[in-house]
Amino acid sequence: EGWLSLSHYKNDNTKFPFHAWLKSQQKAIAQHKTELAGIPHPQGPYTVRKTIADMIALTRGVTCEPEQIVIGTGIHPLIQQLMAMQSSDKKIAIENPGYSRIFQILNSLRLNVEPIGLDKEGIDIEEIKAANPDFLFITPSHQFPTGTIMPISRRVELLNWAATGDNRYIIEDDYDSEFKYGTDNIPSMQSFDQNQRVIYFGTFSKTLLPSFRISYMVLPPKLLELYQSHYSDRIQGCSSLELYALHYFIQSGEYAKHLKRMNQHYNRKRKRLIKALDAKFDNSIDIKDAPAGLHFLAEFDTAKTYADIKEKATEEKLDIYTIEHFLLEKTAKHTNSIQIVIGFASLKEEQIDEAVERLYRVIY
């Protein structure tokens, strides 16, 4: 039989309301033929930015004007724009383990990038102070990939750190923050930043579909000025048809309805998967179960190496990513356990038992 996926890459497309999206696209065409005939504002159509600004104010406490929002075709091009307008002597710190793709991109821009370790509350503040970076790239809402939800105390410490240096910025990557299961939804760091030091990043990849390529950043006023002087002749990358469709999808309440449905759906699947894993692996598994997002980290007692695991996973046709995919310095020290990032979004509920069986055969 075919492959099963425990990858964190894919969403569950069986639940996407394609009909509702189609209706939003039809509305976009009916109402915006003039705009569709031209090229959009470099940051994306104002109407769409206003809708996003209103939404994140409500859901994440982000305070911003539509003028501060820059829409882009993913976090990668947005980060590239942000960093390309900085002088090349800037230093960026990034969580390790963390989002290795961003790490690669920042390195390819020949920037000074420094991996920073984590403690149980998230990124290590002592290491940050020692590194003294100009930018700090973090995922406080659900640390990628360990899942840690950064407590408010650590967030305040980081905001104080940012405020006590000139031109220090925190890049808050709030991906998959829309998915919380039974735990309170801590507002964004941007919402309690008093010194305009937080650059807020959001994406529709996790809540809609990653192939839509619709993401955005919220720039503090000073960086917005720099952006507008650098990129006034830039052309927005996203399709205006899709952006206006997004606008109607949100305005019609379909987006909120979809989020509610997906939270319930993912929570049910997550609980069932964890139950099946605990039953099969008994006490040889330690699940770092942060009740958030579309994946969690699990540690397994085994003498196997990461190379063995990868090879066996291919044999078993099980799509999984070990912690190695997220280590920025690619040195997974060999101990008597291995860590795997388990994504549950694309797995169907009826496939859970089979996936757990295969995982067991991969590890033992």
Ligand X SMILES: Cc1ncc(COP(=O)(O)O)c(CN[C@H](CF)CCC(=O)O)c1O
- Among 47, 215, 236, 240, the residue binding ligand X under the rule CB under 6 A is 215
Which residue type occupies 89? D
- Decide: is 75 part of the binding site for ligand X (CB under 6 A): yes
Instruction: Return the number of the residue (24 or 203) whose C-beta is nearest ligand X.
Output: 203
**Minimum distance of ligand X from residue 214's CB (angstroms):** 8
Stretch that binds ligand X, among 74-82, 146-154, 230-238, 346-354 (CB under 6 A): 74-82
Instruction: Return the number of the residue (61 or 210) whose C-beta is nearest ligand X.
Output: 210
Burial letters 245-263, b for 16+ CB under 10 A, else e = bbbbbbeeebbeebeeebe
**Minimum distance of ligand X from residue 29's CB (angstroms):** 25
- Decide: is 207 part of the binding site for ligand X (CB under 6 A): no
Instruction: Return the number of the residue (204 or 227) whose C-beta is nearest ligand X.
Output: 204
Stretch that binds ligand X, among 51-59, 69-77, 284-292, 328-336 (CB under 6 A): 69-77
- Decide: is 11 part of the binding site for ligand X (CB under 6 A): no
Decide: 364 and 308 in contact? Cβ < 8 Å: no
Exposure on the CB side of residue 230, measured as CA atoms within 13 A: 15
Residue nearest to ligand X (CB): 74
**Minimum distance of ligand X from residue 26's CB (angstroms):** 25
CA 133 from centroid of its chain's CA atoms: 22
**Minimum distance of ligand X from residue 208's CB (angstroms):** 10
- Decide: is 60 part of the binding site for ligand X (CB under 6 A): no
- Decide: is 237 part of the binding site for ligand X (CB under 6 A): no
* CA-angle at 343, arms to 337 and 349, nearest 5°: 115
- Decide: is 339 part of the binding site for ligand X (CB under 6 A): no
**Minimum distance of ligand X from residue 100's CB (angstroms):** 7
Decide: 199 and 172 in contact? Cβ < 8 Å: yes
Report which of 231, 245, 200, 178 is spatially closest to residue 26, judged by C-alpha positions: 245
- Decide: is 210 part of the binding site for ligand X (CB under 6 A): yes
- Among 103, 137, 175, 266, the residue binding ligand X under the rule CB under 6 A is 175
**Residue whose structure tokens are 């994504």:** 343
Which two structure tokens, joined as six digits, stand for 137? 């790239």
Report which of 123, 170, 171 is spatially closest to residue 148, judged by C-alpha positions: 123
Instruction: Return the number of the residue (76 or 280) whose C-beta is nearest ligand X.
Output: 76
Instruction: Return the number of the residue (32 or 60) whose C-beta is nearest ligand X.
Output: 60
**Minimum distance of ligand X from residue 9's CB (angstroms):** 5
Residues 301-320 that bind ligand X (CB under 6 A): none
Question: Do strands 198-203 and 295-301 pair parallel, antiparallel, or not at all (unpaired)?
Answer: unpaired
**Minimum distance of ligand X from residue 38's CB (angstroms):** 26
Interface with ligand X (CB under 6 A) = 8-9, 74-76, 99, 101, 139, 144, 173, 175, 203, 205, 210, 215, 325
